[in-house]
Structure 1
């Protein structure tokens, strides 16, 4: 059986929510989002159609911390004040198995990309 390697790019964007009261002192409320693409052989982003769905495993303090998104670009949008590590499970189409990526949600940059090979 041939093993296929794919480059997956996670793009995270975040910004401070204007006018929202901080939940914790010194930690402003933010809106953030993550999208998932594949990279082609030239490094261009293409739709990640090889996945049936993506499960985001958020911090347990979130209401419904396991979020399932079923359409590319598998965008998850949320609001919160804290940084945390999460697991993102990519569910391959056609019985290709599941791939888990560890993701560090942080607020040091307004936008950042993480590229990994699965």
Structure 2
């Protein structure tokens, strides 16, 4: 029963209007319930496997090469939160681009799960993830807004500083199959719990081609210098800072209210 957890945050996110109308009512990602499948072994009760992922886009202005219809080159991707290969869990990714593109439905059958294009407009990209048979038989749908411009900057664009917009999420698989657990229990992209000694897992069966030369590992990706870092410690620090700011605003409002009441309570001179 895979599902995305509530822990979700993004970087450099903004609403802003784009050159192409955005899709209405963008939806939060959520995986459908996994049905029991024969031949996949037993399922581990009261066990959850978590897969942290990051999905997003990086766009570069083309500078002197820019035209009215091709002003930016951009890449959309799904990667491991720490840039590890996701091919051990994900079988393929389908990217749904704007209908103005030739062949707007793009299928990526192997990691790294990404594609690059050139264009001039911003739009919402639908990303559908499909998992290996022993993981889940339903797809997970994600939605991401392509951004081409730095909204906080009013100066000229730069060909060296890209626009990065990423979102962090965690895919949680409840009651995973034994074959799935055995295959990913030592994989750096997957978070697994410690099992009781009484549980004997079957031998791990690798998936053909998944680990060949770490082809899905994005640690050496040419765009990795622009990837954002996501960590629980950073999020807790942000929450603590925000809480302090809220408390300071509340204290200031109370002082202002008390000062106003004191002024009103002073006797008037006749």
TM-score (norm. length: structure 1): 0.81
**Whole-Å separation in 1 of the counterparts to 2:79 and 2:125:** 18
**Does structure 1 residue 13 correspond to structure 2 residue 63?**
no
Of residues 149, 152, 158, the one that matches 1:108 is 149
Residue ranges of structure 2 left out of the alignment (5+ in a row): 1-42, 151-161, 172-270
| Offset at residue 84 of structure 1 (A) | 0.4
Once the two structures are superposed, the pairs formed by residues 1-118 of structure 1 within 5 Å of their partners are 1=43, 2-18=47-63, 19-23=65-69, 29-39=71-81, 44-49=82-87, 50-94=89-133, 96=136, 97-109=138-150, 110=162, 111-118=164-171
**Whole-Å separation in 2 of the counterparts to 1:98 and 1:55:** 10
Q: Deviations along 1:13-59, whole A, 9 cap, x unmatched?
A: 11112323213xxxx611000222123xxxx2211111111000111
CA contact (8 A) 1:53 1:90 kept: yes
| Offset at residue 3 of structure 1 (A) | 4.8
Q: Deviations along 1:59-94, whole A, 9 cap, x unmatched?
A: 111111100011211120001100001210011112
Residue ranges of structure 1 left out of the alignment (5+ in a row): none
Higher strand residue share: 1
**Whole-Å separation in 1 of the counterparts to 2:49 and 2:101:** 35
**Whole-Å separation in 1 of the counterparts to 2:126 and 2:67:** 28
| Offset at residue 101 of structure 1 (A) | 0.4
**Whole-Å separation in 1 of the counterparts to 2:118 and 2:59:** 9
Higher helix residue share: 2
CA contact (8 A) 1:90 1:99 kept: yes
CA contact (8 A) 2:62 2:72 kept: yes
**Whole-Å separation in 1 of the counterparts to 2:140 and 2:50:** 12
What secondary structure is seen at the aligned counterpart in 2 of 1:61? coil
TM-score (norm. length: structure 2): 0.38
Bigger Rg over Cα: 2
